[in-house]
Structure 1
Amino acid sequence: MVLLDSSAMWRAEYDADERCLRIWFTGDDRPYGYRDVSEDVFDGLCSADSPGRYFAAHIRDRYEVIPPP
């Protein structure tokens, strides 16, 4: 689990076996999942100066979304 310094999202987790990225957005206590994400993309999100901009450029609309349960 990684806590993100972002106004848009506050937490991210990555499951390497499933290649699944889970992101908790601000104001929501349930994660959105993204399928078939590489670990490099997760690392990029965690190290980005702006996780929100990184998400918009590298994740949003590029991976299948698993909505919160």
Structure 2
Amino acid sequence: MRACRIKTSSMIERVAFDDDAGVLSVSFRQTGKYVYYDVPAAVFEALCKATSAGAFFNEQIKGRFQCRRDPERRRFGPNA
């Protein structure tokens, strides 16, 4: 598992990638963690190096890969 923290993004906090499964986990600052399937390693690497992680995500990942909210992440609070 490889990971990188996105310090300059107001949208994305952290991303992690499982090379064996081709699974990308994206932790959004406002909406939680989502898992994307069948993602090439090059996409993860480019996301970590992108000048704007949010723009890269919207152009290269969003709507292109099957995804779902991370089932392991439990939400707390009145809107959970």
**Given the two structures, how large is their TM-score scaled by the length of structure 2?**
0.80
What secondary structure sits across from 1:31 in the alignment?
strand
Partner of 1:55: 57
Q: Paired residue for 1:18, among 21, 24, 36?
A: 21
Give the C-alpha shift of residue 37 in structure 1: 0.2
Partner of 2:77: none
Partner of 1:43: 45
Partner of 2:68: 66
Bigger relative contact order (CA 8 A; separation at least 6): 1
Q: How many residues align?
A: 68
Larger radius of gyration: 2
Please report the RMSD computed on the Cα atoms of aligned residues, expressed in angstroms. 1.1
Partner of 2:10: 7
Q: Which amino acid aligns with 1:13?
A: A
Unaligned runs of 5+ in 1: none
Matched, 1:27 2:9: no
Stretches (4+) displaced over 3 A: none
Give the C-alpha shift of residue 66 in structure 1: 2.2
**Given the two structures, how large is their TM-score scaled by the length of structure 1?**
0.92
Residue identity over aligned pairs, in percent, reads 32
